[in-house]
A and B are shown apart, each in its own frame.
Chain A
Amino acid sequence: MLKLVAHTKMRFPDIQMKMDADENRKKSVNMVLASEIVKDLWRKLPSDLDLSSLNIIFCSGEGELQQTFEYFRNLAQDRARPILFQNSLHNSTLGSLSLELPGITSGITVSNGELSFESAVDMALSSPSPFPFLIVGVDAYNEELKKVRSHVYKGKVELTTGGCAAFFIPSTHPKFRELKGKIISDIKFSSADTKDVFTDYYPAGGMESIAKVLELTGKKEYEKPGHHKVTIITDEN
């Protein structure tokens, strides 16, 4: 079981000013977004919480699409830039975050399309680790890439650059009973004949949907593009 202690979300305008900061010179939008989201999440945590050992699961449906695009743009001009190549890896944001969070023990990157964040919750529920889980989901698009992707979604999805993060503690954590928060005991996946149009959407934004359904009484289900249905099982005891 996982207890949701805190969560947060951001959009590109929230970090736009930070992109020009000197310390972010070599960072992708994903990296800056992830970094700022974690800072915001930290502000929402109880001050006496031990953050010296953490599991982190970084998720992105698209990965470092923008960096890959820039790498190819440079390559077309015979300028292969090492920084763009290393930043083009899906895992680079996890590497970047790890430099800012030295307490990370276990770390993994998952890129599972529309279900990236939800798969991270599945993975955290499977882990034997007694340490907290920081799950961060991020996707970034420039205008050119947004057009390409929107075409793939056939106009049923309005994409945004966004990120979300959540801090969970497992039931084996010493403060599990003491800290307040909703308890997730299971997550299930099924298919749905989705006809909805999704706005302000990014594939790794599962925490935003989870947060909404956790407030509901009764069935805690939601749908995602690609005919996915997610069911969150909670334990209110």
Chain B
Amino acid sequence: MQKLAAITGMGILSPAGLGIEPLWKHCLNQQPLMLNGIAHVEESILQEAAASLSLPSTSGKSLVMSAWAISAAFTEARWKTFSSDDVIILGTTTGQISLWENTFSSFAAGNVLNEEDSQILSKQTLSSLSDDLKKVLKFPGRFIIVTSACSASTQALILGQEMLASGRAKRVIAGGVEELGKLTMSGFGCLKLLNQSSCMPFDQDRSGINLSEGAAFYSLETHPSTSPLGFIAGGDTVLDSYHMTSPNPEGAGLKKAVLSALERSDVKPSDISFVHAHGTGSSHNDLAEAFALRDIFPHLPEVISTKGVHGHALGASGALELGICIQTMKEGFIPPVTGLKTIDPVIKINLPQQGLKKNIQWMLKTTLGFGGVNSALVLKAPHA
């Protein structure tokens, strides 16, 4: 039996700006937000977000982005106050890294810490972000931080649906936040995964990913008092048990995750009419994903990646792209795969290079992450 989690509010802060509209516009116009291969959230966007919440200018980037996005989701859902029964589930990989990494780096290089440095390093634990958010939002409920690499926020959303379906929460806000730090940029650089220009998902000449940042959160509830933006029907995560950083080449883990997500959602593969893929533009990811999707969906629903527009927001990517999924269902319009010029001949999925109108009832969102973490989320349109 389906146990739907209604999405009643959405808060998105991306390199395109505040809210889904600017990001959606960039997707429709195929306008990449990357500069030298990286999509940053500009200072002006952060200042606007911080000012709207009366946050001090010294607040960390992740705190500002996630507090703004959570507040926007809360407001759209027309919730009046947070209660102690509410749950916030946040996916991230590095938390408030830009607050502490210089001090940590200096300490690692052998410099002695003073009292102020020690205070700064208290921000290193991911739970410092939830502690700060609790204060800023006056949130009295449970807070959970999921940190399963690039699948983190997708898992947060799946967990949100599970908590509602099991009755362990009445209202949930779930999503993710990611800010770019030196650790992330130098790390992906040394793994030789970065593309200096805009990425080309599923293209025969794809040569790497674009890093990006942002925050996206959603209000989830079982008995909404407002018109839902869509529904999370269910999801699952399956591990590849194959390699620390590369996905299983045949997409075996992703295939299991998608099939399990469909089963948990009580939906048949043939019901899925649209897939928003992870589609990073890395050689291994796109192949694994394409093989898995081709096997499960022989009816060839449209598959897109929008990372050619906004880049890869790592732990926040699933949540950020859920906003595009919701907008796609709402508008009945699938944006094209930005950056795709010539489809890799080995890839046999339906990748639209032009936008197209389509009435979507059921759709799928996938994400893959380091550690072989494959997540799949089944969404139902509000009109379905």
- Determine whether B163 belongs to the interface, using a CB cutoff of 8 Å to chain A: yes
- Contact indicator A189/B142 (Cβ below 8 Å): yes
Residues of chain B within 8 A of A101, CB atoms compared: 241
Residues of chain B within 8 A of A107, CB atoms compared: 148, 237-239, 371, 373
Question: Could you mark each residue 361-373 of chain B with 1 if its beta carbon is under 8 Å from any beta carbon of chain A, else 0?
Answer: 0000000011111
Known contacts A107-B239, A152-B118; decide if A68 and B165 are in contact (CB<8 Å): no
Residues of chain B within 8 A of A189, CB atoms compared: 142
- Contact indicator A125/B260 (Cβ below 8 Å): no
- Contact indicator A80/B186 (Cβ below 8 Å): yes
Q: Which of A73, A92, A105, A152 contacts B370 (CB 8 A)?
A: A92
- Contact indicator B104/A126 (Cβ below 8 Å): no
Residues of chain A within 8 A of B104, CB atoms compared: 68-69, 72
Q: Which of A90, A99, A126, A151 contacts B147 (CB 8 A)?
A: A90
CA distance A225 to B33 in the complex (A): 43
Q: Which of B166, B242, B243 contacts A128 (CB 8 A)?
A: B166
CA distance A24 to B55 in the complex (A): 46
- Contact indicator A61/B127 (Cβ below 8 Å): yes
- Determine whether B305 belongs to the interface, using a CB cutoff of 8 Å to chain A: no
- Contact indicator A105/B162 (Cβ below 8 Å): no
Residues of chain B within 8 A of A112, CB atoms compared: 126-127, 130, 143-145
Residues of chain B within 8 A of A105, CB atoms compared: 236, 238-239, 256, 260
Closest to B245 in A: A86
Known contacts A110-B144, A111-B147; decide if A122 and B168 are in contact (CB<8 Å): yes
- Determine whether B220 belongs to the interface, using a CB cutoff of 8 Å to chain A: no
- Contact indicator B371/A94 (Cβ below 8 Å): yes
- Determine whether B6 belongs to the interface, using a CB cutoff of 8 Å to chain A: no
On chain A, the number of residues with a Cβ less than 8 Å from chain B's Cβ atoms is 56
**Closest beta carbon of chain A to B191's beta carbon, Å:** 5
- Contact indicator B127/A123 (Cβ below 8 Å): no
Closest to A84 in B: B187
Residues of chain B within 8 A of A218, CB atoms compared: none
Closest to B264 in A: A128
CA distance A98 to B125 in the complex (A): 24
Residues of A96-133 at the interface with B, using a CB-CB cut-off of 8 Å, are: 96, 98-99, 101-102, 104-115, 119, 122-123, 125-128
- Contact indicator A98/B370 (Cβ below 8 Å): no
Question: Could you mark each residue 44-79 of chain A with 1 if its beta carbon is under 8 Å from any beta carbon of chain B, else 0?
Answer: 000000000000100001110100111111011000
- Determine whether A82 belongs to the interface, using a CB cutoff of 8 Å to chain B: yes
- Determine whether B226 belongs to the interface, using a CB cutoff of 8 Å to chain A: no
**Closest beta carbon of chain A to B153's beta carbon, Å:** 12
Residues of chain B within 8 A of A91, CB atoms compared: 93, 147-149, 152, 369-371, 373
- Contact indicator B187/A88 (Cβ below 8 Å): yes
Which one of B105-113, B202-210, B291-299 is at the interface? B105-113
- Determine whether A173 belongs to the interface, using a CB cutoff of 8 Å to chain B: no
Interface band, chain B: 35 or more
Residues of chain B within 8 A of A68, CB atoms compared: 104, 183
**Closest beta carbon of chain B to A144's beta carbon, Å:** 8
Question: Could you mark each residue 146-179 of chain B with 1 if its beta carbon is under 8 Å from any beta carbon of chain A, else 0?
Answer: 1111001001000100110110110000000000
Known contacts A89-B93, A98-B241, A111-B145; decide if A126 and B162 are in contact (CB<8 Å): yes
CA distance A206 to B4 in the complex (A): 32
- Contact indicator A128/B165 (Cβ below 8 Å): yes
Known contacts A94-B373, A113-B126; decide if A148 and B113 are in contact (CB<8 Å): yes
Q: Which of B105, B183, B241 has the most CB of A within 10 A?
A: B241
Residues of chain A within 8 A of B130, CB atoms compared: 112-113
CA distance A62 to B101 in the complex (A): 15
Residues of chain A within 8 A of B101, CB atoms compared: 72
- Contact indicator B146/A88 (Cβ below 8 Å): no
- Contact indicator B191/A126 (Cβ below 8 Å): no
Residues of chain A within 8 A of B126, CB atoms compared: 63, 90, 111-113
Known contacts A99-B241, A126-B159; decide if A110 and B372 are in contact (CB<8 Å): no
Residues of B116-135 at the interface with A, using a CB-CB cut-off of 8 Å, are: 118-119, 121-122, 124-128, 130-131
6 pairs from A and B in contact (CB 8 Å cutoff): A101-B241, A106-B236, A108-B146, A113-B145, A123-B144, A128-B165
Interface residues of A (CB under 8 A from B): 56, 61-63, 65, 68-73, 75-76, 80-82, 85-86, 88-92, 94-96, 98-99, 101-102, 104-115, 119, 122-123, 125-128, 144, 148, 151-152, 189, 203, 226
A-B contacts besides A69-B104, A94-B371, A106-B238, 10 pairs, CB < 8 Å: A86-B244, A90-B93, A106-B236, A108-B146, A112-B126, A112-B143, A113-B125, A113-B126, A113-B127, A126-B168
Interface residues of B (CB under 8 A from A): 93, 101, 104-105, 107-109, 113, 118-119, 121-122, 124-128, 130-131, 142-149, 152, 155, 159, 162-163, 165-166, 168-169, 182-183, 186-191, 234, 236-245, 256, 260, 264, 369-373
The 9 closest A-B pairs by CB, nearest first: A113-B127, A95-B371, A85-B187, A72-B108, A76-B109, A80-B190, A90-B147, A73-B108, A107-B239
